[in-house]
Chain A
Amino acid sequence: MLKDVTFGQYYPGNSLLHKTDPRIKMIILIEYLVIVLAATTEIAALVSLSFTLFLITVSGIRFSVLIKSVKPLIFVLVFTAVINLFFTKADTRPLVDFYFITIYKEGIKTAVMMLLRLVSLVLGTSVLISFTTSPLELTDAIESLLSPLKAIKVPVHEFAMMMSIALRFIPTLIEETNKIISAQKARCADFESGNILKRVKSLIPILIPLFVSSI
């Protein structure tokens, strides 16, 4: 369950991306996001895709790790692709016309573009920030980038502090949760079967100890 969530976890390493100043990485990330979202033509999509692949290669993060970071989003990805595939309308002749299902060439194109875009977003952010920047570096970078706002009395330092404390406790919380899940599983708890109501109810033995331990 939780052990598969690698999204947002730092992988120590020695690559160029690890060594790059996190502030530069943040600025690259913002530009990268804009490019990926603005890429509507095939050429632009190819350019942003190759840049993503370039980032991945430079980071030296294993492919299997990256796959894992995309895995939790499979549902969203498939859902988006399907919606685009079936609901894009065009004036051209449909490729498939079967009762209420009509698929146009444009639909396939939009679906593929959407998929590429989303995967690029996730991978780019993971590779640029999450996997190659330690939480501490990240908060320092944010504080430094936002510091001009101090002039208009924005509490930048406090904000960065809050963020680093929150980030610091995510791994602890995950570890704690895993421990509780294991202990309840050892008492034959079943979190995976049954209808939604039953599944939600099965979370009670995890949530209560979690709240109690964090008070």
Chain B
Amino acid sequence: MTALELKNISVIYGENTPFRKAALNNINVSFEKGSITGIIGHTGSGKSTLASLTNGLLKPTEGEILLYGENIWDKPKEMVKVRSRVGLVFQYPEYQLFDETVESDIAFGPKNIGLSEEEIKERVRLASEFCGLTQKELRRSPFELSGGQKRRAAIAGVIAMMPEVLVLDEPAAGLDPKGKEEILSGLVEYKNAYGATLLIISHSMEDIARYADNILVMKQGEVYMQGNVEEIFMQAEKLFDANLDVPQITKLFIELKKRNLCRSNDVYTVGYAKKEIEKLIKDSENA
């Protein structure tokens, strides 16, 4: 089932001014329910613009956005409902924290939707679990937290609305490997538990390879490539042309293949690479 669909979308910033800029050009994509799509693209390719379209913060100059088949701009009065169904976490979202305690900050979204006290409490509990926040951290002021904890609190504030589609702009940028892994696997857990759909913008090909099912490659405001992770990372040359990269491990295997040491060119996770290398060693021992 298609959860979210963008049809013939174009976005032009500053129409009729000297600063006119076409940020998106006739985009057509759809995202299946329960899938994780990694969105990659060079700086300025329009990823963040695409993200702010999904929950109606930005109105497309042309085209329509369908959430489970319904155009989100049909009833602009009910945009709050759309925003609770499509959660959007901005790039470096820490600045959105404002309340006295982390707990009440996470409760901000659910409160705005108009849920009951008990329900809000339950949502805060669930969201902080998915994001790995402890009871003690919940009672502190968000301004006393470390950078990584702030990031978790901000993401929890969006998850607490229990969105059906969750869009994250660089959720793991600037975090240490462990913090990164905890946040990303928490998101996958949330997705699996509630059948949500994830869109993750990232510059890290390793993270994409590890967590995403599909990849959407943007280039200068257009969809440049689209497919599952294997299909995309197999076309390394095409990615290099868009100023993008493939995971380090894939690069290693491209080099190995150039030297005729192996045949596979679809290696993009460390786990699979290990198996391939073991196979290669066994083959050479047998020979």
Instruction: Flag whether B286 is at the interface (Cβ < 8 A).
Output: no
| Total number of B residues with any Cβ neighbor in A under 8 Å | 27
Contact check, B83 vs A188: say whether CB atoms are below 8 A apart: yes
Contact check, A186 vs B17: say whether CB atoms are below 8 A apart: no
Instruction: Flag whether A13 is at the interface (Cβ < 8 A).
Output: yes
Q: Which listed residue, A64, A176, A183, touches B16 by the CB 8 Å rule? A: A64
Instruction: Flag whether B112 is at the interface (Cβ < 8 A).
Output: yes
Q: Which listed residue, B52, B80, B97, touches A188 by the CB 8 Å rule? A: B80
Q: How far is the CA of A186 from the CA of B85 in the complex (A)?
A: 10
Q: How far is the CB of B266 from chain A (nearest CB, A)?
A: 37
Contact check, B109 vs A183: say whether CB atoms are below 8 A apart: no
Q: How far is the CB of A137 from chain B (nearest CB, A)?
A: 17
* Closest residue on chain B to residue A12 by CB atoms: B18
Binds A, one of B87-95, B174-182, B216-224, B226-234: B87-95
Residues of A within 8 A of B99 (CB): 205
| Total number of A residues with any Cβ neighbor in B under 8 Å | 24
Main secondary structure of the interface of A (DSSP, over half): helix
Q: How far is the CB of A57 from chain B (nearest CB, A)?
A: 17
Q: Mark A4-34, 1 if CB is under 8 A from B, else 0.
A: 0000000111000000000000000000000
Q: Which listed residue, B52, B80, B112, B157, touches A182 by the CB 8 Å rule? A: B52
Contact check, B95 vs A188: say whether CB atoms are below 8 A apart: no
Contact check, A209 vs B84: say whether CB atoms are below 8 A apart: no
Residues of B within 8 A of A73 (CB): none
Could you say which of B57, B95, B99, B161 has the most chain A C-beta atoms within 10 Å of its C-beta? B95
Contact check, B18 vs A11: say whether CB atoms are below 8 A apart: yes
Within 8 A of B (CB), among A166-187: 176, 179-180, 182-187
Contact check, A62 vs B158: say whether CB atoms are below 8 A apart: no
* Closest residue on chain A to residue B154 by CB atoms: A183
Give 23 pairs: A residue, B residue, CB < 8 Å, sorted on A: A11-B18, A12-B18, A62-B16, A62-B17, A64-B16, A179-B95, A180-B95, A180-B96, A183-B93, A183-B95, A183-B96, A186-B55, A186-B89, A187-B158, A188-B83, A188-B84, A188-B109, A188-B112, A205-B108, A209-B95, A209-B97, A209-B98, A213-B95
